[in-house]
Structure 1
Amino acid sequence: MHRPPTAEAEVAEELAAVRPALVSRYAAELAGSRAAVLTRLWRALAHEPLPWIAGREPVRDGLVLRLTDGRRLHGPHPDPYATAAYVTTVRLDDVAYDDPGRLTADLAVPHGTGFAAELDHSVASLALSRAGRTGRAGDWPVTDWGWEQRVVDGHPYHPGCRSRPGFSVAEQLAYGPEHGPVVRLGLVPVPAGRCVVTGVWPEELRDGGRLLLPVHPWQAEHVLKLPCERGPSAHPLMSLRTLALPGGPHVKTALSARLTSSVRDISVYSITLSATLSDFAEALATRADGLLHVTRTLGAATAGSPDLAAVWRESPGAYAAAETGERVVPVAALAGTGLPDSPAWLARFARLALTVGLRLLELGVALEAHGQNLLVVLSPGGEPLRLVYRDLADIRVSPLRLARHGVPVPELTGRLVTDDETALRRKLFGSLVAGALAATAGSATALRAALETAVRDLPRTPDLVALLEEPLPAKALTLMRLSPGTPGDQWAELPNPLL
């Protein structure tokens, strides 16, 4: 039934040359990686508004999708919030598929060929990530980057969860956080007059009349194609392009490669607004009754190009009382702690997250609170105490709501600004509820139980009513990859676990 796709074979061949000790472990991880990506793909097929699916019919043993060309696709009952790889085979008419890339290729839908290649790459890279993971289950890291390296599987719901096109096996091992590397950043000197700078640029990154812009080594080699001065050594975080300096801040670099859905450069727009956003968010966090911290942007600079820019950002670890044993953990890493296995703990965490998220939404700010941007401060015993939010580049701000609550409206323009209630709710609910909370819960059943407890005593705002009574929005990640000519986010409506 299975024919190894080219990406699997290519990765195996490269791995044999650069890290032969991992070859057998890589081969052992391939079947589980195919199932993990196929599970994510089945979620999309079952719930996203894909134009070539004419209908969906629940049947006794699962779900049948009727395609517009008359074919039928049959798979198990879909759980849109499951994170375990429960889909091992689907059938297209009479042919069984265990390989998501091969299935996508044979569906022969518009733009499917390129997406099939991405899924092949996602499977192979995921198997490589699992084979080369660092750390031992049960150990709690002592560094901020140690927690980030625990998130081996990437995005919990995107079929391209580990797609890293343009990265060789050697580069994945050298730069992927799950492999535990130390990365030497490059420094590109740029005349200060050519740069846009906000905040305070570090003195150690100034050389007379020049700024020294930190550059990821992959970016220097493949995009900028220029030699760099040797910069500081740092530890990559789960976003790959953001790295932690030991004992210091985090540095976000431009990385003009497509990872999952997006090209990871840094727009001039986001640089120019970074200081304003940072000051605004820091002030707004004081209205969250001590339950939220927002990491400060210390300095940001661009040489006028999204391919050459960097942001210095405060470490989330600054908001834990280390002397009392508190820890700051990315929400994406919570599943590996075992804490969400307790329904009571999960409900307390959900209540904390919803209290903060809905409070800020009512004031006029929708956070992009997915498991990478959102972190939680844990007590020594593992209790969720407070939240930490980082990366303000994709929040949404409503001047109308801010003014209604007497909050000074910051001087912002462009895509961050909207008064559209649907857009605001999609931003928060899609990232926090259908994203961070769902992935932490790991199933519709666990998510439902947590939400039922968490929402009982929350203020019944119009936003909460929408969360309780309407379908749950989620980004239609596969539709977006199959719609290259459509800009911006597209959305799916998932079954509301509370209904």
Structure 2
Amino acid sequence: MPPSGPPTRPPTDDAGARADAYATAPLLNCLLREVAQPLDGTDEPRVYRLPSGERLLRVRGVRRPARPEVSVDGDWRPVGHAELVKLVAEELQAHTGLSNPELPAEMTDSRDAVAALLTARDGATSPEDPYRRSEQSLLTGHPYHPAPKARGGGPVARWLPYAPEAYAAFPLALLGVREDAVAEEGDVSALDAFGTAPPGYRLLPAHPWQLDLVGPGLTEAFADGRLIRLGTTTSDTWPTAAIRTLYAPEHDLFVKFSLDVRITNDVRRLWRHDLLSLRRTDSVVAAAAAALRTPGAWLSDRGYRTADFAFEELAVLVRDGLHDHLVPGATPLLAAALVEDFDGTLPAGLRDPDAWWTAYLGAVVPPALELFARSGVVVEAHLQNCVIAVDAAGTPVQALFRDAEGVKLLPEVSRAAGWERLVYCLVVNHLVEIAEALRESHPGLDPWPAVRGVFAHESHRLDLPEAAALLSAPTLPGKTNLLLRWTGANGADARYLPLWNPLAG
């Protein structure tokens, strides 16, 4: 059966201390992966030399490192989150020769956001629907980003009502755009079911947080009648893990908005160039997914509607809902939730983890590789863009992929670059995380023979030499989010460093 809700934490549990722990783990993951040098011969706790050469750092735990300590003269002392942020900034400046006052502020904002979220959750009831609960479970978020929960540095009262991690649900704001100012492409007719626009206007739902952020720039449009306010929707939507993508259960529809806030690596606007290429990209992916010989599915980004005078600011994208794509009787769960132990049962409470893992791999890997091999489609198959459908026993039976904005098509990118991106998203960002969570919960399990088996099988089935080569490659590509943010690189400008490849044995 679908899992039940998580237990309520005791009121004596300190949100500040928990926030420090949640925020410390991904920051340490970045530091240790990207710039620290492990010292040979060290067991638990693991010891690293930092770039300045003046400090040693030791941590406990592997998947979610914790309890950092620093040694300068041989005396180990604990490092809290605030001091860790300062230490990371000093070490990155030593490593790169560059300074960056913005990123430490984001790291602090991310930690403070977690504290606010924990406090809000302590006084709230988690959703009964397992899919919603999975989408709204991510208190760690991206496990290899230095500030995964930053919310743009704004006051808590501005963003908390719209935070998925606080179990938010809210109506959409409804605007009317004068017909001669509407810009749209694709099938967006589903938007018209959210309300009614008067003659001469088209309905434009808006995210209330985004409307608050960009409202001052729309004064003239409201004054001259190009834009009018039409109240709110009569039913709630709720935010998915992506924050700016909301699910409207009454319509079984996802709607994605611009959000002028930096979240992880980017300001989350629906950029004009992405919107203009959306339909072409999505049509290629949808056709390829329809031809899959494996039980994968694609949630199509059908089109967008906006105002031509605020093209990016007010854009809303329409995405397929779940019900027309799900295997009958299956329950959808966000893959990223499974590594957060969102309900205490998956994957920690599995009776047969080997069988579950084999089924999981069979649901996720074949369609992702088939899209690449047969159609030149590189889906962004990371944890937050994969929905896993499970049957009544909790066994994975299907993967649903989403987000045309993150898709790459061959030959618009080279085959080598496309494969590298697929390996990073699917293997490093997805399978490694699930595998390590399984191994943590079931210490006797070795997850990698099953992974090698499915890649070997798919290499033969799809005549995909890259999949076979991956089984002997010494390294995998790991994205350097900490260095990307520190050096001010474009968020989409992925740079990789080599990581040990567990598929090679």
1:216 aligned partner:
207
Alignment of 1:325-340 (within 5 A): 325-335=329-339, 336=342, 338-340=345-347
Partner of 1:57: 39
The aligned residue for residue 5 of structure 2 is none
Q: 1:229 to 1:30 in 2, by over 3 A?
A: same
Superposed structure 1 runs of 4+ greater than 6 Å apart = 134-137
- Map 1:7-18 → 2, pairs under 5 A: none
The verdict on how the C-alpha distance between 1:492 and 1:279 changes in structure 2, with shifts beyond 3 A counting, is same
Aligned to 1:263: 267
Q: 1:216 to 1:42 in 2, by over 3 A?
A: same
Cα distance in 2, alignment partners of residues 456 and 224 from structure 1: 54
RMSD, matched Cα: 3.0
Aligned partners of 2:244 and 2:258 also within 8 Å? yes
Q: Please say if residues 104 and 112 of structure 1, whose CA atoms lie closer than 8 Å, have aligned partners that are also in contact.
A: no
1: CA distance between counterparts of 2:136 and 2:32?
31
- Alignment deviations for residues 55-106 of structure 1 (CA, whole Å, 9 cap, x no partner): 5533424232242x43233223784xx2xx3321131525735334422324
Match runs of 1:74-85 below 5 Å: 74-76=57-59, 79=62, 82=63, 85=64
Alpha-carbon offset, residue 284 of structure 1: 0.3
**Does structure 1 residue 355 correspond to structure 2 residue 366?**
yes
Q: Using the alignment, how far apart are the partners of 1:73 and 1:63 within structure 2?
A: 7
> Which residue number in structure 2 is paired with residue 412 of structure 1?
none
Distance of 2:304 and 2:499 partners within structure 1: 38
Q: Tell me if structure 2 keeps the 8 A contact 1:63–1:78.
A: no
Contact 1:135 1:150 in 2 (8 A): no
| Secondary structure of the structure 1 residue equivalent to 2:363 | helix
Q: Cα gap change, 1:293/1:444 in structure 2, threshold over 3 Å: closer, same or farther?
A: closer
| 1:125-158 superposed Cα distances (whole Å, 9 cap, x missing partner) | 2233233338999x99436434312333322332
Q: Which residue of 2 is the match for residue 91 of structure 1?
A: 70
Residue 371 (1) aligns with residue 366 (2):
no
**Residue in structure 2 matched with residue 198 of structure 1 by the alignment:** 185
For structure 1, list consecutive stretches of 5 or more residues without a partner in the other structure: 1-21, 400-416
With over 3 angstroms needed to count, the CA separation of the structure-2 counterparts of 1:485 and 1:154, relative to structure 1, is closer
1:272 corresponds to 2:276: yes
User: CA, structure 1 residues 92+351, in 2 after alignment: closer, same or farther (shift >3 Å)?
Assistant: farther
1:36 and 2:18 are equivalent in the alignment: no
> Contact 1:340–1:346 at 8 Å: present in 2 too?
no
Aligned length: 448
Cα 1:115–1:375 change in 2 (3 A) is same
- Match of 1:150, SS state, is coil
| Other-structure match for 1:318 | 324
- 1:457 aligns to 2:436 (yes or no): no
**Structure 1 pair 195/264, CA: closer, same or farther in 2 (3 Å)?**
same
Aligned residues of 2:459 and 2:466 also touching (Cα < 8 A): no
- What secondary structure is seen at the aligned counterpart in 1 of 2:315? strand
SS at match of 2:405: coil
Question: CA separation of 1:87/1:273 partners in 2, compared to 1, >3 Å: closer, same or farther?
Answer: same
Task: In structure 2, list runs of 5 or more residues that go unmatched.
Answer: 1-7, 223-228, 440-445
Amino acid in structure 1 at the alignment position of 2:30: A
Whether the 8 Å contact between 2:151 and 2:263 is mirrored in structure 1 is: yes
TM, length-normalised to structure 2: 0.80
- What's the counterpart of residue 19 of structure 1? none
Aligned match of 2:402 in 371, 377, 390? 390
Deviation at 1:219, TM superposition (A): 1.3
CA contact (8 A) 1:101 1:117 kept: no
Shift of 1:339: 3.4
* Whole-angstrom CA distance in 1 between matches of 2:10 and 2:107: 22
Give the deviation of 1:479 after TM superposition. 0.9
